Chain A
């Protein structure tokens, strides 16, 4: 979580971006106008808007398009779908909502499999901080790290515990990044960044599915509102160096099974030129640029409009 009521400009390769948080510590407006439709958005840094100012994110761009709706962004950088579900439970379960948008960066499938995340301590050393997580035991979700330990641990203390290191082959990735040939190597090797979507029965997808089933189920018991799941692609999928079919198939199955709206922005994003698509991420930072956010918003807008019209 961010500190509440924060106003900062974060230095970034783009120059910098303006970050403003509400009293809960989310990059979102505090205001709730009763007469407006309420849209609650959940996700990670691709939805929270790392790299761009609040007003330039896809959720804010949509908010400007639909002036009868108020968008509240509950996204948290570095979080997985498991934590986003807990955020909904803690901060938003009792809020009025006409539409709930769950944005799943497809890479989140790796985050939900981990119980620890790397972080830097005061001395700049890498340590590992606990995160809440779930395990599937006999088909049931069981919460781990409850409560979440506050103390961080070192790599040696961590042992065999599951850690999300931000992607596959972290050492090789760092080396390729340093040589500035990562994109080329990934393209030549047909690198698939998220193999957990390859089959419906992989542990990763089973867990992701279970979390979303539980989340959707709880929403439906409390609210009579529309729910949309937005699988946000990685840049490799947008730029055509990785095959998205597996994750698209999994989310498509999920939509049919649970009767939930799957809003896939990828086909629209693939309609842009290669040069434009490269411009959807920064030169070094893989997060969405302002152009990337605008393109995602444009891709989602028609379906969001339909859902809001139905909700009203």
Chain B
């Protein structure tokens, strides 16, 4: 058997993925940040590559090709052209960009050779073709329109393609500097969040606001055409010149300077979040319609950072424009590693592409796993106290019982997720019926902003009982409303008028599952299917049997700024740093109050840069 190794690196979210050249099976994929413990780590993914070979358990000679997820020559071309368009301004940005392209990337073949221990054929795939491949090849469709939207690749910031069988045809693209992703990032930065990590927070903030600036954005910042194509008015943006995203005209347009990071969030920030969300949804919907028109396909697949906007995805889903929508769970640059590998496997090595009812992403459980023996050895070495319950049904019932009593559980079980969302393998779980749980988990366990909502993980066959959604959403990439009959009247107007603070608003019950119901009654769904994750499904089933509630709060197992935990060591460290009550490590359960006293550990505050 032979394989293709895909690599993404040197921008953000470095990753590696390995696929079979026989049938394109995804053997393994992981982000470097999980190994290096540096969030969004852009460095060469030596740890992830080593893991890919470990999972495949192969010598480097079994790798037919290593494929990088973008074309460096085209990126250099874009960087130079961009500088020439703004010179002599933008010198610093140019130096940074060109150093990245000419420095690290030039060393790529040597770094690969060192990590693999052998020289292997080395290829490039264009950035948006990598994204398109990551979306199309694992999807359960023989034929699909492909939409990729991100900040920027080499030149393209957005592309429309058409996938049929093993073939992908790229049909249209929009080029830098006109970028929906960068527009969203510009507003993210203006609202005081970090670019490339804060976009998700902005999306979570949007339901607190009103889209009162949407028309202003359309009037001044972006010219949206009927086919979804657009042009930005670059007079308002500073990103072509380097460090800043927005310029003085942008600040004047919205009445002042950007919000300082970590300062109080204002109504203006919430309204801007709602406004850019509305504009984004409008563009995505038009693009999707156009993609359908020019491809004739009844299916849509998506990737690129903007495809992580699950609110827009949910909106698109509810239009009924497509029979099927599939979004690559590692939609950002990390997923480019997988896309590059799949593209080479299917086109250069003619790997088969069997299409069935379910996708080929394996639930996105594509990362490292740890055996009960490894856990036991670690627990013994650290002198911790653990309850070992090898029987999975008994274990599920034990954990479910604790959650039902209000305990917060960190769970490390099975292979780690690929992509930014925790899907049960590296998750913190809680009772969604508890009105105080959202603020408790945000403030005492995640140490993050209190406004941020939590997602529900729900048994796939029970989703329609709780949400206005009938299809699967296995990757937490679709937002759907809570069913009307489960909602509670929710006085929200006083908060809008400044009469209540955000924490008070967050703690008001909004439904019978308040901890996963956002202030607009929406929820970011994860449906759990026993074929993807039988253990997690068992846990949900046990919780349902005890409480009648078929869902749990599911949030990523980390503290703010920390990459999601990967190893049992990471999990134990995070467990003791937070107010989590229980830690599940495969078959072992650790209760916080049964452990030997630990020294106070506030190191995470300096160890992890806030995101």
Contact = CB atoms under 8 A, between A and B. Distances in A.
A7 interface: yes
A15 B114 contact: yes
Interface string B30-52: 00000000000000001100110
B394 interface: no
Nearest to A53: B59
B371 A5 contact: yes
Contacts of B373: 3-5
A4 B372 CA distance: 11
Contacts of A20: 57
B57 A3 contact: no
A266 B36 CA distance: 42
Q: In the complex, which of the residues B54, B113, B115 has the most CB atoms of chain A within 10 Å of its own CB atom? A: B54
Interface string A58-79: 0000000000000000000000
B60 interface: yes
A5 B374 CA distance: 10
A4 B60 CA distance: 25
A15 B371 contact: no
Interface string A1-38: 00111111101101110101000000000000000000
Nearest to A11: B50
Contacts of B53: 9, 16, 18
Interface of B: 46-47, 50-51, 53-54, 57-60, 113-118, 371, 373-374, 377, 381-382
B528 to A, nearest CB: 28
A9 B62 CA distance: 14
A12 B53 CA distance: 13
A306 interface: no
A4 B54 CA distance: 16
Contacts of A6: 371, 374
A102 to B, nearest CB: 28
Contacts of A8: 54
Give chain B's interface secondary structure class: helix
Interface of A: 3-9, 11-12, 14-16, 18, 20, 53, 122
Nearest to B371: A5
B54 A14 contact: no
B122 to A, nearest CB: 15
A18 B55 CA distance: 10
Contacts of B46: 11
Contacts of B377: 3
Contacts of B115: 11, 15-16
A9 B113 CA distance: 16
B371 A3 contact: yes
Nearest to A15: B117
Given A15-B115, A15-B117, A15-B118, A9 B51 contact: yes
Contact of A122 (B51, B60, B382): B382
Contacts of A53: 59
Nearest to A8: B54
Nearest to B117: A15
Given A9-B53, A9-B54, A18-B57, A3 B374 contact: yes
Contact of B116 (A3, A4, A5, A15): A15
A9 B56 CA distance: 10
A8 B373 CA distance: 14
B44 to A, nearest CB: 13
A124 to B, nearest CB: 13
A12 B116 CA distance: 10
A53 B118 CA distance: 14
A9 B118 CA distance: 15
19 contacts: A3-B373, A6-B374, A7-B54, A8-B54, A9-B51, A9-B53, A9-B57, A11-B47, A11-B115, A12-B117, A14-B117, A15-B60, A15-B116, A15-B117, A15-B118, A16-B50, A16-B53, A16-B115, A18-B59
A8 B113 CA distance: 19
A14 B118 CA distance: 9
A263 B221 CA distance: 81
